[in-house]
Structure formats: structure tokens, C-alpha cells
Structure 1
Amino acid sequence: MDHGIRELAATGRGVLVTGASRGIGRAIAAAFAEQGDRVAVHCTVRHADAERTLADLPGDGHVLVTGDLGDPAEVEALAARAEEALGAVDVLVNNAAVMVAHPLPTTSYDAWQDAWRHTAAVNLFGPAHLSYCVARHMIDGRREGRIVNIGSRGAFRGEPDHPAYGATKAALHALGQSLAVSLAPHGIAVASVAPGFVATERVAGRLDGEEGERIRAQSPFGRVGTPREVAAAVLHLASPAARWSSGAVLDVNGASYLRT
């Protein structure tokens, strides 16, 4: 590695977390802030929730940034705003995602196309473009960095009612591995987390009744994951000690799905 590259610090870093209004993104933002990092809380539409996330973060130097990840121009502006507001973005967490139901047997062709376009724009092209913009700032600043993608167990297990979600998460894993090779000479490590079912506001209703029992039974632990458990995995992969994990896809699913 070029010794002119500034090494990544353990704390006090600038961290951009997309989709940090609530759920997993909020937990990730809080985990970084709790260890002394400065966090850029990103949202697209849930501004009130994002303001709450920001207000609850411990420490100083945190900011709220907005931008439509499906718009390449807004992505570029978002990366620039976060870089300026934090002084530098040392860690990017690509967490934001959409999950639009479109089971093939019951979905019209027009709705099918719309679901794929929207899902790919936010779940794949958005992280790809944002990773490009943030990594270019890291390279130009001659500093190490970390990119952590939030993928999904569904990339391996399949998502019959949300096929575009499963496909884009699989592509996000592959993107992370390609970037891990490309960016290693610049001191930038890239890895992904593949969570299983996680108890968040978006899916709280599904954990009631018989469906909830079936979901919890997927894991031999008899429960679902928590946002804090996903955040802990992200925190590790973003740490200076995890450089050698670059290219990894870390399963965080409570042994609910084992792949070879």
C-alpha cells in the first residue's frame, strides 16, 4: 500500500449512513455516534424521523443530509454535502433500500416494470453511484476508508413476492466484492452484511400471530434479529481492524439460512 495514504482512525471519523431515519439505519447511526464518530444522517422523505435520529445521537458534529438515491445528480450532490459537513467521509454505509411487492403471478406487466425500475434505482444504482462519489473523495484526499453495504439473506434464499429486492441485494453483494478488489490499492476496504429478518418499524405487523411464529421459527434461536445486532456487524466491518475482511459478505441471520 502507498504509505502516503492516511490511515483510518478508530474513532472520530466522518460516517455517512443512508436511510438512517429509522430501523437498521438509525441503529447504525447511533452505534457510530456512541463510539465518538460524526454521523451524516441521510433521508429521502422521512424528514421528521430523520430529525429524531439526529437529535438522539450522542456527541457533536452530526448533520442531516437529504437526497434521492435514484437520481445520479442528487447522489453526487449528497456526497459533496456530506464531505463538506463532516470534513471528510471516512465510512459510507449503503443502507437505504425499498421493498415493493410484485409477485409475478398476480402483478400486471406495467406494475412489474415499475417495481423493477424503482427497486434497481434505489437498491443498486444509488449505492453504486454513491460509492463512486464517496470513494473518489477518499482517493483524492489520499486517505483510507470503508464502505459497508447492507444486503440481505434474500439475495441467497430468494424473495418470491419481492424478486427485484432479492436480485438487487445479490447484485449489491457482487458490487461490494468488485469494489473491494478495485479500491484495495487505495486503502479502501469494502464489505457487506446480509441480515435475515430484523424487527423494525416497517415489518412490526408481520411479527404478530401465526405469521410471527413462523418467522421466529426460521432461526434455531426462536427469534428474529434486532437493528443493534446488524449495527454491531457494520461497526466491526468499518473498523481499522477489519481491513482483511474486505470483500466479505457477513451473514447476520441467527442461523436461519446457511449457505455454502
Structure 2
Amino acid sequence: MNLPASGRRVLVSGASRGLGRAVAQAFAAQGDRVAVHYGTRADEARETLGSLDGTGHALVGGDLADPAGAAAVEAAAAEALGGIDVLVNNAAVNLPHPPVETPYEEWAEIWQRHVSVNLLATANLSHLAARRMIGQGGGGRIVNIGSRGAFRGEPDHPAYGATKAAVHALGQSLAVALAPHGIGVASVAPGFFTTERVAPRLTGPEGPSILAQSPFGRVATAPEIAAAVLWLASPEAEWSSGTILDLNGASYLRT
């Protein structure tokens, strides 16, 4: 399939800040046009949009936890960009809910939220974008943001670890289903990396133990993770379809 190396139409979910912003910037820097999605952080999403190289980018808001909302976001992105060639499923929630301390009502609500955003929104956007890519011809790419926690375990965030494991499995199933249409699907599984959300943990009492998880003695940066996403979405990465790429600085080694 003739997937171009640049000038592509890219939808990045959850791109108002953090990794989503870094991913949007990486695609824009190589000449792609990006639809910056946000859920509630409109002002920060506008900052992301304003930071992008080039022109022709778009801002798209919507609640991905609602299937109708996901459909509206995909349609708005496609209309603004003239189609979609690459989807990056980055939007996610990660709320603490240690099993022993969390009341049942709160536990059930948090699990539902994680499943709706982390898993079902990823599945729905992937379905919508894949059908559009097939209709366009020319192939495409879907890259999912998973997590090291899917393998290592998340004792205080079990719904996050479980839904990210499901995202990895979803990506592999879609990789097989969509390959005949020239659509590659892959996932990344980052460990800790620097964002606004985790900054207090890195500078707090647990910071030294987090840094010590990797033999490099540090955590990743968002641009490092974004660089891997950029490659997985490239024309050269078609044969990596189905992979789950560990990005954790040797802090957790799978066998």
C-alpha cells in the first residue's frame, strides 16, 4: 500500500498535554497534519495546537467514553484533515484505587471509567479509523499507547494495568484483521516517563526509588516515547505490525 512518509493526516487522542502533545509535535515536525483531540482540557489543547510546526492542523474536542462521542471525534478529525491515515490512541485515565483501601462503590465506578476510556474508546476509534482507511485506500497505521504495567502489575492501579493489557491484545487482533488492507497496528508499552501528571511523584519521597527502577538511573522523556510512536507509524515499520514495543529502560524485561 502507498502510505506516504510525510504529509499524512494524523489523529492523536488525548493530545492536550504530556505524551499526546509530544506525539502531535513529532508528527507535525516531519510534515504531517495533526488533529489534536482533547476531552476537557481545551486551553491546554490550544497550547498544543499552537506549538505544532507547519499548517493545516485542527483541534477536536469530545468525550471518547461515549461511543457517539468517539464517532463524532473521528468524523470531525477526518473532515478537518480530509481523511485519516494514522491514528494514535493515547487518551487514557489512571486513577488510584488500591484494592484493600478502596470502598466498593468507588472501586466499581473507577473500573467502569477505565474500561470506557482506556479500552472501549480505543476499540471504537480504531474501528472507525480503520473503516475510513479501508475506504480511502492506501493503507494506514494505528499505534496504541499501552503500558509496562500490563506486564509488571499495578497494585494501586489494577484497572489501569488490566485495561492496558487488553489494549495490547486488541492491537494484536486488529493487526491480523487489518493487514490485508495495508493497515499496520502496533502498541508501545512505556514505563515511567516525565509528564505533568507524574512530576510530583518524581520530585517527592518515592522519586529516588522510581529512578532506580531502570539501570540507567532515570525515567524516559515524552519525546523518547513519541519517537517510537513515530517510527511504528512510518511506512518502513509495516513488518512490525502486531508488536508490543517495550520502552522502559530495562526496568522490566519480559521473557
TM range (shorter): over 0.9
Structure 2 residue matching 1:189: 3-state secondary structure? strand
Mapped partners of 1:130, 1:66: distance in 2: 14
Cα offset, 1:143, TM superposition: 2.3
Q: Higher mean Cα deviation, 206-215 or 150-159?
A: 206-215
Displacement, 1:100? 1.0
Q: Quickly say closer, same or farther: Cα 1:209–1:108, change in 2 above 3 A.
A: closer
Q: Which residue of 1 aligns with 2:77?
A: 82
Q: Which amino acid in 1 is paired with 2:63?
A: D
Give the equivalent residue in structure 2 for 1:239: 234
Identity of counterpart residues, as a percentage?
67
Alignment counterpart, residue 220 of structure 1, candidates 189, 205, 215: 215
Worse-matched range after superposition: 166-175 or 209-218:
209-218
> CA separation of 1:82/1:209 partners in 2, compared to 1, >3 Å: closer, same or farther?
closer
2:170 aligned to 171, 175, 199, which one? 175
Q: Which runs of 4+ in 1 moved over 6 A?
A: none
Q: Deviations over 1:155-207 (max 9, x none)?
A: 00000001000000000000000000000000000000000001100010001
- What residue number does 2:103 align with? 108
- 1:87-143 residue CA offsets vs partner (Å, 9 max, x unmatched): 111000000100011111011111110010001000000000000001111111122
TM-score (norm 1): 0.97
Instruction: Render the CA deviation track for 1:224-244: whole Å, top value 9, x for unaligned.
Output: 010000000000000000000
TM-superposed CA distance for 1:210, in Å, is: 3.4
Which ranges of structure 1 fall in alignment gaps of 5 or more residues? 1-5
Displacement of 1:209 after TM fit? 4.1
Residue 191 of structure 1 corresponds to 186
Give the whole-Å Cα distance in 2 for the aligned partners of 1:239 and 1:209: 38
- Of residues 40, 44, 49, the one that matches 1:45 is 40
1:26 is displaced (CA, Å) by 0.3
Q: Deviations over 1:8-66 (max 9, x none)?
A: 00000000000101110000000000000000000000000000000110100000001
Of 132, 135, 141 in structure 2, the residue corresponding to residue 140 of structure 1 is: 135
Partner of 2:120: 125
What is the TM-score normalised by the length of structure 2? 0.99
Q: Which residue of 2 is the match for residue 68 of structure 1?
A: 63
- Give the alignment's Cα RMSD to 1 decimal: 0.7
1:3 equivalent in structure 2 = none
